[in-house]
């Protein structure tokens, strides 16, 4: 079969993403009732797949969604689907929703099976060494941010606010405490240490954040998992943004004011380690992964 440019999958059926349809009574259409994951695919290898699968099943359990597939069955489906797309470098997105039933706030009968969606599109490897511009915004989301649910309206609103300000990402805060960004985690380097918010209910336990911590520990860089403030953010030696599709990038400004730039050698050491981990895990050619801005 000829490979597809993009791919959509729904409960076993798949085809070009633009041509796929889903039932209107899928509960995602009314309530965003589901959980999701997204991972980068390089050289047809899904980076950190086991970590993403584990987090999806944790999220599903916290909202009482029974996933029809075992972890191994889900991984097998995803690994098969990425081979059906023409580009070897892709954004792989998948979600599980609480089944298809007439609109009702209470859950449907337990016999109603969950729905499994997948979308795949080409995505070149992003340059993690390029600086980003940030704005700050009040974190007005709910108190279950540790669950990777499909309820992302506030994230969309602040992302649009960042775009209109000519910025790449929005850093959220509750009062003076920095939590995370609209679609990434935020950490700082200060006095030779990595400082990152604890994984409580106010942030998502990011996969790249976890690998950032692990790489820092391998490099002998102290890691402090404690809340930090907006002043800490603005006065940091470096401000780091981590996500599954852009790895670890640093900020050049926040709310129009320059930040960071005080620990470039330490920053590059961390970014180089993250880059090498990605190359080793996926087998992608090093020439395809930028090594400088």
User: Which residues are part of the catalytic machinery?
Assistant: 148
Cβ-proximal residues to 109 (8 Å cutoff; 6+ apart), any chain: 101
Distance CA 207, CA 246 (A): 12
* Residue pair 216/271 in contact by the 8 Å Cβ criterion: no
- Provide the CB-side half-sphere exposure for 252 (13 A, CA): 9
Q: Which two tokens stand for residue 168?
A: 């790449």
Strands of 45-46's sheet, edge to edge? 13-15, 7-10, 115-122, 90-97, 34-42, 45-46
Tell me, rounded to whole angstroms, the distance of Cα 125 from its chain centroid. Answer: 15
Cβ-proximal residues to 106 (8 Å cutoff; 6+ apart), any chain: none
Distance CA 275, CA 111 (A): 45
* Residue pair 165/137 in contact by the 8 Å Cβ criterion: no
Q: What are phi and psi of 194, to 5 degrees?
A: -90, 125
Q: Which two tokens stand for residue 208?
A: 């790249």
* Residue pair 252/236 in contact by the 8 Å Cβ criterion: no
Q: Are strands 223-225 and 193-196 parallel, antiparallel or unpaired?
A: parallel
* Residue pair 161/137 in contact by the 8 Å Cβ criterion: yes
């Amino acid at each position: 079969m000829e490979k597809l440019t993009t791919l959509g999958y729904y409960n076993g059926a798949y085809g070009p993403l633009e041509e796929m349809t889903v039932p209107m009574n899928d509960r995602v259409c009314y309530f965003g009732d589901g959980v999701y994951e997204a991972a980068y695919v390089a050289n047809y290898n899904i980076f950190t797949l086991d970590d993403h699968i584990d987090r999806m099943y944790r999220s599903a359990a916290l909202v009482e969604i029974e996933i029809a597939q075992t972890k191994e069955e889900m991984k097998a489906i995803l690994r098969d689907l990425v081979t059906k797309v023409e580009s070897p470098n892709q954004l792989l997105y998948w979600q599980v929703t609480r089944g298809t039933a007439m609109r009702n706030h209470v859950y449907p009968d337990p016999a109603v099976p969950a729905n499994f969606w997948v979308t795949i599109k080409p995505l070149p490897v992003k340059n993690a060494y390029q600086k980003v511009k940030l704005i700050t915004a009040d974190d007005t989301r709910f108190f279950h941010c540790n669950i990777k649910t499909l309820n992302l309206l506030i994230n969309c609103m602040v992302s649009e606010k960042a775009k209109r300000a000519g910025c790449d990402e929005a850093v959220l805060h509750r009062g003076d405490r920095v939590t995370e960004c609209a679609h990434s985690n935020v950490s700082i380097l200060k006095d030779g240490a990595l400082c990152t918010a604890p994984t409580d209910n106010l942030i998502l336990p990011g996969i790249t954040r976890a690998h950032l911590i692990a790489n820092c520990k391998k490099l002998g860089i102290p890691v402090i998992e404690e809340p930090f403030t907006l002043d800490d953010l603005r006065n940091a030696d470096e401000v780091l943004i981590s996500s599954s599709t852009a790895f670890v990038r640093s900020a050049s400004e926040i709310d129009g004011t320059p930040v960071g730039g005080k620990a470039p050698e330490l920053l590059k050491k961390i970014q180089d380690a993250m880059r090498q981990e990605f190359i080793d895990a996926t087998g992608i050619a090093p020439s395809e992964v930028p090594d400088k801005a």
